[in-house]
Amino acid sequence: MCGIVGYAGNRDVVSVILKGLTNLEYRGYDSAGMALRDGDDIKVYKTLGKLINLKNELESRKSELIQPTCGIGHIRWATHGSPSIVNAHPHSCTCGKLVVVHNGIIENYKELREELTVKGCVFKSQTDTEVIAHLVADEYSKVKDLEKAVRNSVSKLQGAYAVCVMHKNVPDLIIGARKHAPMLVGIGDGENFIASDTPAIIEYTKKTIYLDDNEIAIVTKDSVKITDADGNEVVKKVEVLPWEPIALSKLGYKHFMLKEIHEQPDVIRNVLNGKLYDIDAPIVLNEVKLDKDTIKNLKKIEIIACGTSLHVGMAAKYIIENFTGISVEVEASSEYIYRKTTTDASTLVIGVSQSGETADTITAIKQAKEKNAHILIVTNRPDSNMARLADSLIPVNAGIEVSVAATKSYIAQMISFYLLAIHIAEVKGTLDDVYLKNLKHEIIQLPTKVEEILSNTTTIQECAKKFSSFKNFIYIARGVNLATAYEGALKLKEISYINATGYAAGELKHGPIAMLDETMPVLSILMPGGITYEKILSNSEEAKARNAKLIALTSSKDTNIDALFDVVLRVPQVSEILSPVITCVPCQLLAYYIAEFLGKDVDQPRNLAKSVTVE
Ligand code: AGP
């Protein structure tokens, strides 16, 4: 969603901020802006659409600038007020001396706006953010101290915010503040940064301080001071970022999504590294802080997540129940938070999130925490807000994922759940030794099998071409691959904007079959060796009888099925329980090639954001 970059230092301020915003643009946005301290003045630039427009605007007005010494930049994903130049950040107070950029939502903005209007503030935009500019300016006019003015003002805000403020009368100072929205300070040598996420600063420094809720950062090029809500200075740990700037390069691939799909074999190896290395040794999962007795007595697990991470949870239910016999409930975070749940102190609650910043999941996890449940977080961002709520934390080590459509984080989370399920099974003794060894052996082979798929994508590309003109799709599967059907359909929707729905194959005849004709292709995921192969084959026959075009995704070597299906996407053989790791890859590639063929903005699909930090 929105992104913030602030910089104070001797480099070219415009370039640093633009670069930082570029590294955040994968999060999704509709407009961009920048405020620059230039001599005695603060100059504001805003444009609609992609960052290139802001870059061009700054370039065309270059002669206005003498030598900016610090600045704040923002990319906006509209929540209050449509995407427009007037609603783009930075926002200014009535006299224009104070500028602010903001991520999050101010829930009491209407009341504040009324109060400030009565005081004579003139509002220009429809945003909630503009109240912050007027509020801080109003406080500043009273206390004449920008730090105090920010502190007093944010105490009046309800909701979520990460804000950066500059004032014309206070040269070369940027103040940042946060509550329920991420913000960090990057420490450089004779330069400092403020940002909403690490990719914004990684090219310049790896030294980072993460702000906690209610903390305020007072930043100049030579100093960083962090205070709490009462103004007391706080000594914070300086952390070193694990990412390399190279992670933000496409490395010759046309899109980040394709690069990230191709990284998956190594991602699986990374997840397994140190945890599953020998089929005779138990899984090493020191991240799980539950003692053996607690694990043995576990009666219920709840998995809470959104979107793609929710689909991982759906597969995890099958995997954990199959391996351990423990009952697993899976729920969308946005549903969990608005009902009376049965979560209690004996429940293991697992939050799954690529970004670790998804607002609904964070709220759900906080609610579960209040009920004293043990919180296990599975995330690709161990530096995230969600990770900080964890009693146990499994970082999935997929490396930074730039494409909005999640791929490698999905597979990394999935592998983490296999390890978790086996770990629990080993503690409980629910799996037979021989089965366990074979299972581990097969898991170790998974990267090679994914490599096999990636080494020849011709059939998938041809299939994409053949089916790219269809407006609707149905994906069907049963059992553990039902999650793949949901995820495959979601991938297609997200990046190609084609309407696609995943169904449990057995449900087809209870309604969806009514939609079937030659305009509605059906992709069947049918992996032999399990108990549902023949059933899905019959469901596919039923679709064929209604003239639907059929695609099979299967490891079956049976050439008879080639007559039933219009296209057969063959994948390597693997046990059904492990097959989601294999079947997800052609689904990702099919969505990718269809979107690419249709000329869509694959990495930054319209209306979507990488971190959904608002409810
Ligand atoms: C994935 O392709 C989507 N962009 C989206 O569904 C995403 O999975 C969802 O918003 C949850 O995000 P999270 O994993 O960061 O919590």
User: Is the distance from the beta carbon of residue 362 to the nearest atom of ligand 1 less than 6 Å?
Assistant: no
Question: Which 3-state string (H, E, C) describes 147-216?
Answer: HHHHHHHHCCCCECEEEEEEECCEEEEEEEEEECCCCEEEECCCCEEEECCHHHCCCCCCEEEECCCCCE
Interatomic CA distance for residues 548 and 349, integer angstroms? 41
The confidence score (pLDDT) of residue 160 equals 85
Written out in words, the top-level CATH class of the domain with range 3-247 is alpha beta
User: Facing residues of 184 across strands?
Assistant: 195, 210
Interatomic CA distance for residues 500 and 507, integer angstroms? 16
Q: Within 13 Å of residue 532, how many CA atoms lie on the same side as its CB? A: 22
The amino acid that residue 509 corresponds to is: K
User: Facing residues of 300 across strands?
Assistant: 327, 347
Burial 196-230 (b: 16+ CB within 10 A, else e): bbbbbbbebbbbbbbbeebbbbbbbbeebebbeee
The confidence score (pLDDT) of residue 152 equals 97
The confidence score (pLDDT) of residue 104 equals 87
The confidence score (pLDDT) of residue 182 equals 86
Interatomic CA distance for residues 110 and 92, integer angstroms? 17
Q: How far is the CA of 308 from the centre of ligand 1 (A)?
A: 5
Which protein residue has the closest C-alpha to ligand 1 atom 7?
307
The confidence score (pLDDT) of residue 608 equals 82
User: Is the distance from the beta carbon of residue 378 to the nearest atom of ligand 1 less than 6 Å?
Assistant: no
Judged by DSSP in three states, 473 sits in strand
Q: How far is the CA of 306 from the centre of ligand 1 (A)?
A: 6
User: Is the distance from the beta carbon of residue 404 to the nearest atom of ligand 1 less than 6 Å?
Assistant: yes
The amino acid that residue 10 corresponds to is: N
User: Is the distance from the beta carbon of residue 554 to the nearest atom of ligand 1 less than 6 Å?
Assistant: no
Query: Ligand 1 atom closest to Cα of 404?
Result: 4
- Residues 71, 42: contact at Cβ < 8 Å? no
Q: What is the pLDDT of residues 281-308, one digit of tens each?
A: 999 999 999 999 999 999 999 999 999 9
The confidence score (pLDDT) of residue 248 equals 76
The confidence score (pLDDT) of residue 312 equals 98
Nearest in space to 475 (alpha carbons), one of 313, 587, 319: 587
User: Is the distance from the beta carbon of residue 353 to the nearest atom of ligand 1 less than 6 Å?
Assistant: yes
Sites in the chain below the pLDDT cut of 70: 1
Q: Does domain 458-597 have CATH number 3.90.1150.150?
A: no
Nearest in space to 153 (alpha carbons), one of 96, 106, 200, 209: 106
Give the DSSP per-residue string, 301-363: EEEEE-HHHHHHHHHHHHHHHHHH--EEEEEEHHHHTTS-----TTEEEEEEESSS--HHHHH
Judged by DSSP in three states, 565 sits in coil
Average pLDDT for the chain: 94
> How does strand 327-332 pair with strand 300-305?
parallel
> How does strand 392-395 pair with strand 207-210?
unpaired
Query: Ligand 1 atom closest to Cα of 409?
Result: 14
User: Is the distance from the beta carbon of residue 576 to the nearest atom of ligand 1 less than 6 Å?
Assistant: no
Q: What is the pLDDT of residues 384-414, one digit of tens each?
A: 889 989 999 999 989 889 999 999 999 999 9
The catalytic site residues sit at 2, 610
From the candidate CATH numbers 3.40.50.1100, 3.60.21.10, 3.90.850.10, 3.40.50.10490, the one assigned to the domain spanning 251-450: 3.40.50.10490
Query: Ligand 1 atom closest to Cα of 309?
Result: 14
CA distances from 487 to 93, 135, 286, 581 (A): 45, 44, 30, 12
Which protein residue has the closest C-alpha to ligand 1 atom 2?
405
Q: How far is the CA of 372 from the centre of ligand 1 (A)?
A: 26
Domains of the chain: which residue ranges? 3-247, 251-450, 458-597
- Residues 102, 161: contact at Cβ < 8 Å? yes
The confidence score (pLDDT) of residue 348 equals 97
Global confidence as pTM? 0.82
Query: Ligand 1 atom closest to Cα of 612?
Result: 10
Beta strands across the sheet bearing 499-504: 499-504, 472-477, 522-526, 550-554, 567-570
User: Is the distance from the beta carbon of residue 494 to the nearest atom of ligand 1 less than 6 Å?
Assistant: yes
Q: Identical fold at 251-450 and 458-597?
A: yes
- Residues 255, 604: contact at Cβ < 8 Å? no
Inter-residue long-range contacts of 466-469, CB under 8 Å, 24+ positions, other chains counted: 466/566, 466/567, 467/521, 467/549, 467/551, 467/567, 467/594, 468/496, 468/594, 468/597, 468/598
The confidence score (pLDDT) of residue 542 equals 94
